[in-house]
A and B are shown apart, each in its own frame.
Chain A
Amino acid sequence: MSLTSALQQIAVNPIQVLAGGTDYFPALGESAVPDYLLDLTKVSELRGIRITDDGITIGATTTWTDIINAELPDFFKGLKEAAREVGSVQIQNAGTIAGNLCNASPAADGVPPLLALNASIEIASVDGFRRVPLSEFILGPRSTTLAANELVIAIHIPGLSSDARSGFYKLGSRRYLVISIVMASVTLLANDAGELCDVRIAVGACSAVAKRMTELEEVLTGQSIQSDIESLVKPEFFKELAPISDVRASAPYRTNAAYEVVIRLLRSTLAALPQHGISTGTRTWVGSAS
């Protein structure tokens, strides 16, 4: 099926959309299956990862396993780590990246790493295309800006220096098949002077929608990677998160754990940054934008 055909179908019928099914069927529970579903996994052009002239585009129905197996720049490490933490192998084989975003769970594993990659969402309808930053796409739990006649067709990630590094951490009460208590992702880039020039820190499961820790990012930007970065990370930066208390953890625990997790992620990601001043080496850029 072509994308055009799919868009035409949802333009005339309020038909439900199915992709990996990993959120759709659990939500359906024991209710009767509908007679019709629009199966986006049949739209072949929606699956796959390609490098474009302004970054990297991940098709909407690209599965988590596709992402794990794809050859991607080092700064996709955080997204790959998140992909490995989505449910189980079974879920990773079926679940899609756009499905994870459209489901809009506060604990969606894909959101923090994609926020830390400055991802934007490519949306199509019979009326045309639009692109929305991920931070504006998810409005709240189970709520997005997607209109009934629209489909997410891809996730776009702008180009970034191949010197950038990223990481992801998911904290849960058991090893596999677990919903996060807290998760975080960071992307870091240092300039030739060894100063952090691009700092992105996202925390999930601690607010209605995962969010970037912009104040902390600003404080860290410009700091030398040789300096004591960790000491600049204060618990106060995490007060804006306003997590809930639920069966998985209390709200104060979440705030505290977010702080701890971000420190650890910064530590490991800083350690992974290329060591400037020792060897300059060559630099390649992914995409044309910097």
Chain B
Amino acid sequence: MSLSNDEPTVAAAPSVNTSKASPSSSFTLNGKPITFQGGATQRLSVALREKLNSRDVKVGCNAGDCGACTVLIEGEPVCACLTAVGQVQGKVVDTLAGLKENDDVMKLLLRSFLVHGAAQCGICTPGMLVSALHLLRQTPYPTEQQVMDSLGGVLCRCTGYRKIIEAVVNATNLAEDTKSQEERHSVNSVGESFQRIDGIAKVDGSDEFGDDVCPPDALVLRLVRSPFHKAVFRFGDLNAFLERHPGIERVLSAADIPGANLFGVIPPFIDQPVFAENTARFKGEAVAAVVGEASAMASLNLSDFPIEWVEESALLDPLLALQSEDNRVHDNADKNILCHGLVQKGDVAQGLKDAHLKVRGSFSTGFIEHAYIEPEAGYANRVGETLEVFGCTQAPFMDRDSLASIMNLEPDNVRIVPTSTGGGFGSKLDISFQPFVALAAWLLKKPVRVTYSRTESMQSTTKRHPSKMDVEIAVDGEGRLTAYSFEGVFNTGAYASWGPTVANRVPVHASGPYYMPNYRAYTTGVYTHSAPAGAFRGFGVPQAAIAQESLFDELAYSLNMDRLEFRRLNALDNHQPTVTGQTFESAVGIRQCLDSLVEPWREALNDAEEFNREAQASGSALRRGVGVASGWYGCGNTSLANPSTIKAGITPEGRVILHQGAVDIGQGSNTVIAQIFSDALGVPLNQVDIESADTSITPDAGKTSASRQTFVSGNAAKLSGMALRKLLAQRAGCDSIHSLTIDAHLCTVRPVDGDAITINLSDMQINNQGYVLMAEESYDPPTKPLDENGQGIPYALYGYAAQLVTLDVDTALGLVKLGRFTAAHDVGKAINPQLVEGQIHGGIAQGIGLALMEEFIPGRTDNLHDYLIPTIGDVPPIDTVIVEVADPHGPFGAKGLGEHVLIPTAPAILNAIRHASGAVVRDLPATPDKVLAAIQQSKEIN
């Protein structure tokens, strides 16, 4: 059988088994004929990204579960990761990069995505756009349902999909570009929904993520990971392995690490090795790395890596771990306890005893995976005595310091250059891929890259803490809260990560935004042989809110009170102490959030009543319910310093450069920080250029977590803008500036009093950083430590939220169909309302997942096939109510938002399920089987 004329097979079986000829594949890529020589069985996604310079095609799962790699083959959308290159022989393949140049409909779509804010991190955007183009070619004016059916195969973890739907529905009849671009010339940009300033790259496929930046000759690194939850291991003959595999340059393990084989995020609790030594403590823990040339690594089968495993009995259940005397995850952790957290005030025991009425309940939630569509990826390079690491991250300076310690280098000899980050949500605060490529590049003196597979990403990076919570709440005869008791066990997995933060944050927040005179919340962080649990949007607060808000409904039912009224009665007010004894003069916004739901609540209740009457009459199994829940969240670190520093300068040519180190992981800090800065300086946003985070050029703006960037880095940006403005005033010789304009090298300053003064910037002295004027300012929120009872000032400010949801429960199948959300969020001041909405939508989508479908089970749901996150068909319309109760500490009054958005979602859903069907689900997620079982149970009780 001849290879040449029987081309049909992807690679024809050779008649003589000695030839490994790679027949070439010819096809048309983005309008150009190309010939690919690299082997016809290769995945098309790999060929496009690695050989054909099409890194606009993103890979999120390599299994058809996420759709990020969607391309058009002969005009039809398919996953490039499920297609062999040989299968496109003679065919036409189009990717976003080509379509944006050649296709007018795609040009409309790009604009619509930009105008509607339909891209956040941007990693799913190419797949969304290509899928949407196929729809619009057939159906120029699609319905919402048609959009959902067409885009159902592309997962997004940031946007909550609603703005994507809007963007596609309106793409072909988008009104002429709104004035938003003109308004960027205005000097008042705070409060305006400007398109994200990094938006074009996010929608045209040119944005570069962790796996998009490595040099072409980089060596490839892959990790050998534990196949067991707990196992001891011993390496075999590594030299023989290297000899067997030409092209493999090195095997790395703990013994190769020059510094400490240790990392973590909270200094007293640093306990995680880069490579496990002797014993692996969770399934997926790295024990060794193999580094080699790309071609050798591509054909490497890691199953023949010489290692012997002996599986040992693993502790997976946190309650069993707490009782275990001899089986310890860490030798020094008695009963596997990581730490405790406590907040108490008043006399809870007495409060419960004196109660008019009390309720109690036990709740549990599982591991939740962040499921950003970008798996961890990046590369490292050694430049002389400096180590450079490029890749996705939420915390470049923490990465730098961790790598310095691991590599035994000075922090100044480590440079972290964050790429765009394709979603983070907390997990990319911890280092993951960085030390492996850093070590390899340092020792081999060559660039080394790594790309986590979806399964590696899910198995080895941090998760939301599973929780087991016991709560008891008491009220007086009028329905006022009198006592609240919370005990929670939080499973931190094999390593501490942010476990102590969760243990501390939960007691501070477990009350919700309500006044509680007698309160005790006690948490225990416990180790198990599971993937480490760390930071995930809310640090344990969403779990605690599920318990608190579910029992609030129980109380309201028992009191025969309206459930929203019960919350309004008990909402925290200004001048009332929080559970840590802190009071606020003016900034508590929960009442305004709840008040804004009164009207939608009445309407929704009436609608549900009518619907259910008809359903009952017609024999339908559907029942409609309405749920409400609140949340609050302290912005910034808990009682710990967490300063941000922002630098800005003006060049002799009149360019204003903002060194914006607050990593934008999709939430929009590049835009928000620039809006705050430009207003403080007094120039239009479009005159500000951004230098994004790079530890060598931007000062430390802290980590992107704890909903702190708008608040903390925003304040630093505001101070920097004001400082620059003051420098200009000094230069102009005036006390106070009324307005200023910068036109090329001429800056015209108009004082409050007197005539305009023109400063010729090109005449000024240039400093060593190229600026004629420069300012660098820091901001650290004012907090006070918590005492042994958890009393103190943990945060300078809190943000507040209340959400309402309507849904239908199919009472015969336990299925839940969400109807509509009304989300009221007190953000103090919406710096960019469109980005605020984007956060709310995305948070609600994650809350939906937490409530209804998500549970990471180590070794079982470690892919996006079995671990379900909401698709475009699972997020209903969301009405947003932006509440602005200004906080005196916030820049222009702004409060943080990133984490608040998902705290009320899951409990609101659970409360609506109960209202609709009587089902009380307290062990999440509320999958159909659990909902149905709970319905049957409630029928038995009643």
Contacts and interface: CB of A to CB of B under 8 A. Distances in A.
Interface of A: 1, 5-6, 8-9, 12-13, 15, 18, 20-22, 24-26, 29-39, 41-43, 65, 87-91, 93-94, 171, 173-179, 181, 247-250, 253-254, 256-257, 260-261
A181 B927 CA distance: 10
Contact of B79 (A90, A176, A178): A90
What are the 6 closest A-B residue pairs judged by CB atoms, nearest first? A88-B153, A1-B8, A175-B873, A176-B152, A42-B8, A253-B929
B768 interface: no
Contacts of A94: 78-79, 82-83
Nearest to B20: A35
B777 interface: no
Contacts of A22: 64, 79, 82
Interface residues of B, number: 70
Nearest to B299: A32
B153 A9 contact: no
Given A29-B455, A38-B13, A256-B932, A177 B63 contact: no
Nearest to B1: A9
Interface stretch (B320-328, B725-733, B787-795, B808-816): B808-816
Q: Please indicate which of the listed interface residues A18, A35, A171 has the most CB atoms of chain B within 10 Å of its own CB.
A: A35
15 contacts: A21-B87, A24-B82, A26-B63, A42-B9, A171-B813, A171-B928, A173-B868, A174-B868, A175-B874, A177-B65, A177-B153, A181-B928, A247-B860, A247-B866, A256-B932
B62 interface: yes
B82 A25 contact: yes
A26 B300 CA distance: 18
Given A25-B64, A36-B41, A253-B928, A175 B148 contact: yes
B78 A90 contact: yes
Given A89-B149, A90-B78, A253-B932, A39 B87 contact: yes
A25 B43 contact: yes
A173 to B, nearest CB: 5
Interface string B62-87: 11110100100100111101111011
Contacts of B853: 173-174
Contacts of B84: 18, 21, 33, 37, 39
Contacts of A174: 852-853, 868, 870-871, 873-874
A175 to B, nearest CB: 3
A35 B39 contact: yes
B82 A26 contact: yes
Nearest to A5: B6
A138 B777 CA distance: 69
A87 B928 CA distance: 20
A70 to B, nearest CB: 15
- B interface, by DSSP: helix, strand, loop or mixed? loop
B17 to A, nearest CB: 9
Contacts of A8: 1
Interface in B1-40: 1, 6-14, 20, 39
B131 interface: yes
B77 A89 contact: yes
A176 B76 contact: no
A90 B131 CA distance: 9
B872 interface: yes
Contact of B62 (A25, A249, A253, A257): A25
Contacts of A15: 13
B644 to A, nearest CB: 38
Contacts of A257: 813-814, 928, 932
Interface of B: 1, 6-14, 20, 39, 41-43, 62-65, 67, 70, 73, 76-79, 81-84, 86-87, 131, 134, 148-150, 152-155, 298-301, 453, 455, 812-815, 852-853, 855, 857, 860-861, 865-866, 868, 870-874, 927-929, 932-933
A246 to B, nearest CB: 9
B866 A36 contact: no
Nearest to A43: B8
B871 A176 contact: yes
Q: Please indicate which of the listed interface residues B62, B65, B155, B813 has the most CB atoms of chain A within 10 Å of its own CB.
A: B813
Nearest to A251: B929
Given A9-B1, A91-B64, A248-B927, A18 B873 contact: no
A9 B150 CA distance: 38
Nearest to B67: A90
A250 B86 CA distance: 42
A34 B152 CA distance: 31
Given A25-B62, A87-B64, A247-B866, A177 B871 contact: yes
Contacts of A247: 855, 857, 860-861, 866
A24 B149 CA distance: 25
B63 A25 contact: yes
Contacts of B865: 26, 179
B929 A249 contact: yes
Nearest to A12: B13
A93 B152 CA distance: 13
A173 B64 contact: no
A39 B85 CA distance: 11
Nearest to B815: A171
B76 A38 contact: no
A89 B150 contact: yes
B857 to A, nearest CB: 6
A90 B82 CA distance: 10
A98 to B, nearest CB: 16
B153 A176 contact: yes
B8 A39 contact: yes
Nearest to B931: A253
Contacts of A65: 76
Contacts of A34: 41
A43 to B, nearest CB: 7
B626 to A, nearest CB: 22
Contact of A37 (B11, B14, B77, B857): B11
B466 to A, nearest CB: 15
B142 to A, nearest CB: 13
A90 B860 CA distance: 25
Given A18-B84, A25-B64, A175-B148, 4 more contacts: A24-B82, A31-B301, A37-B86, A173-B927
Nearest to B867: A247
A29 B65 CA distance: 12
Contacts of B131: 89-90
Nearest to A13: B13
A26 B64 contact: yes
Contact of B9 (A37, A88, A91): A37
Given A87-B153, A174-B868, A30 B453 contact: yes
A47 to B, nearest CB: 13
Contact of B153 (A26, A38, A90, A249): A90
B812 A260 contact: yes
A39 B8 CA distance: 7
Contacts of A18: 10, 41, 84, 87
Contacts of A13: 13
B152 A33 contact: no
A125 to B, nearest CB: 16
Given A18-B10, A174-B870, A91 B87 contact: no
Contact of A33 (B7, B42, B150): B42
A177 B814 contact: no
A9 B13 contact: yes
Contacts of A250: 929, 933
A90 B929 CA distance: 29
A12 B12 CA distance: 12
A173 B851 CA distance: 11
Given A36-B9, A39-B9, A253 B933 contact: yes
A41 B89 CA distance: 11
A245 to B, nearest CB: 9
A90 B852 contact: no
Contact of B41 (A5, A33, A181, A261): A33
A249 B928 contact: yes
A36 B927 contact: no
Contacts of B857: 247
